[in-house]
């Protein structure tokens, strides 16, 4: 199993429209579109930065995990996502080493990526997302 790169950094915000003014217009990142991930009740905006991305996360419902995050901590870095070439192997390695997985099996995230979150308690306080590109058809 290889960890390839930081795929993206997820930032929780109250309004994508509002914060695009900074990330796209002031900082100058390349905005490549938005997508609603129904399962996680979140709208995601993608901003390219080199080989990586920043993703702005806006809740689409009051019981969205992002809504709860904003309530507790306010806007800020929500998670870091690392791209792996074999997510099952990565999950297995985490479990064998005693790391606590929030997702023990991969689920589908934005861009149809296969993703699994690792609990911040076992990563030094950072919500870690493992992600793998969807299989090509």
Binding site for Co ion (CB under 5 A): 10, 81, 129
Task: Please tell me what DSSP assigns to residue 16.
Answer: H
Minimum distance from residue 81 beta carbon to Co ion (Å): 4
Residue 30 C-beta: closest distance to Co ion, Å: 18
Q: Is the dihedral of CA 121, 99, 64, 34 positive or negative?
A: positive
State the greatest distance between any 2 C-alpha atoms of the chain, in Å, as a whole number: 44
Structure token digits, residue 131: 């992600």
Question: Minimum distance from CB of 129 to Co ion (Å)?
Answer: 5
Task: Compare residues 66 and 96 and give the one whose CB is closer to Co ion.
Answer: 66
Structural Rg of the chain based on CA atoms: 15
Q: Identify which of residues 11 and 81 has a Cβ nearer to Co ion in the complex.
A: 81
Q: Which is nearer to Co ion, 10 or 59 (CB)?
A: 10
């Amino acid at each position: 199993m290889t960890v390839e790169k930081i795929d993206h950094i997820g930032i929780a915000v109250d309004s994508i429209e509002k914060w695009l003014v900074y990330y796209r217009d002031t900082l100058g990142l390349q905005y490549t579109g938005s997508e609603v991930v129904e399962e996680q009740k979140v709208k995601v905006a993608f901003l390219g930065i080199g080989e990586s991305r920043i993703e702005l996360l806006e809740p689409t419902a009051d019981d969205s995990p992002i809504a709860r995050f904003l309530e507790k901590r306010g806007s800020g870095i929500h998670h870091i996502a690392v791209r792996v070439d074999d997510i099952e192997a990565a999950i297995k390695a985490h479990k064998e080493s005693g790391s606590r997985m929030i997702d023990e099996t991969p689920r589908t995230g934005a861009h149809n990526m296969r993703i699994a979150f690792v609990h911040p308690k076992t990563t030094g306080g950072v919500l870690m997302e493992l992600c793998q590109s969807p299989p090509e058809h």
